[in-house]
Structure 1
Amino acid sequence: MIIRLANTQDSFALSALLTELGYGNTESFIARRLAQLMDDRAEQLLIAEQGSTVLGFLSLHFIPQLALAGDFARVSYFCIAEGKRSEGAGQQLLAHAEKLAKAHGCDRMEVHCHEHRVKANAFYAREGYQESPRYLIKTLADL
């Protein structure tokens, strides 16, 4: 397995993996979003690949902190393809992301994972992630 940065040819595979996560209908905008993320210096969109098969991806953001000495990294999307889970690809991809974060001056990682994703939350717990205080969201569509 290799881990590499995403490229424009990954649009179809990313869209399929996002569908597995419950984010359907991304085909119409995935190429635009992929290009946007690839141009963002604070983002690393990682692809886990075996041969020519995309096994999964991880979207990692580096976030500077004003009041703390170290920065933090956030995993915003992370998916290993159904049928390829529990084979070590997720652990390798997450470990790679953690090393990148540390190299970028981050001293901690965070991931937001909805409580209904029971297996994903168990995976993160096995990897040493702990629950943190509340996370609040406001939808801006009505403004």
Structure 2
Amino acid sequence: MTSPHPVPPEPPAAPKNGTSPSPAPLDDARPTLTIRAAHSGDAVALSGLFAEWDYPRTPEFVRLSLAQLRPEQDQVLVAQRGGAVIGFISVHVLPTLHDAGVLAKITGFVVTQVARRGGVGRALLHAAEAWAAGRGATRIEIISGNRRTEAHRFYQAQGYAGTDQTRFLRALG
């Protein structure tokens, strides 16, 4: 996914007080959302998104991490609107021994707070799913911290289901 994919802006969400939203102007002035592959020039913006996600990373760390990715099995996509990177998703594909097909794993996913609830996350997720399917993935998983309940509701609304598995982690070295 090296070419940008414009995503039309979504209409504003209905207010929570039950009233109807004002009709959107016919010439929506909001810039088009573009989903594209991340590159080293995005390191500062990605560093800021990592900080919003409670994983502070320096731009240099992000640059080095991007350089280590293997294009045939790793992809970082960014959402850009009006020249600003407002979200990212990282997805990886790997064959597994215990299941048929290839598994895709989303290992990072954040949309800046001010751009949430506007279709950015959904556009990133769909782009990651399409990229993974294009590499033979037959299923995709997201690991999300227990405290991220708002994100869990979003994933469920997108058709993801919780599992009965527990994740274990151990640092090496």
Q: TM-score, normalised on structure 2? A: 0.76
Superposition deviation, residue 115 in structure 1: 1.2
Superposition deviation, residue 81 in structure 1: 0.7
Superposition deviation, residue 140 in structure 1: 2.1
Give the letter aligned to residue 120 of structure 1: A
Quick one: distance in 2 between partners of 1:119 and 1:104? 30
Residue from 48, 65, 75 that aligns with 1:33? 65
- 1:112 aligned onto 2:137: no
- 1:65 aligned onto 2:96: yes
- 1:76 aligned onto 2:107: yes
Superposition deviation, residue 40 in structure 1: 4.6
**Residues paired across the two proteins, number:** 141
Quick one: distance in 2 between partners of 1:126 and 1:89? 14
Any idea what SS the aligned residue of 1:35 has?
helix
Q: TM-score, normalised on structure 1? A: 0.91
- 1:54 aligned onto 2:79: no
Query: What's the CA shift string for 1:23-54, capped at 9, x where partnerless?
Result: 124345222112112x4531011011113110
2:53 maps to which residue? Answer: 21
Superposition deviation, residue 7 in structure 1: 0.6
Higher Cα radius of gyration: 2
1:95 maps to which residue? Answer: 126
Unaligned 5+ segments in structure 1 are: none
Q: How much is the aligned-residue C-alpha RMSD, in angstroms?
A: 1.5
Give the letter aligned to residue 48 of structure 2: A
Quick one: distance in 1 between partners of 2:111 and 2:123? 11
Superposition deviation, residue 133 in structure 1: 2.7
Q: Contact 2:43/2:60 (CA < 8 Å) preserved in 1? A: no
Q: Contact 2:91/2:104 (CA < 8 Å) preserved in 1? A: yes
Give the letter aligned to residue 106 of structure 1: A
2:163 maps to which residue? Answer: 132
Quick one: distance in 2 between partners of 1:72 and 1:55? 27
Unaligned 5+ segments in structure 2 are: 1-32
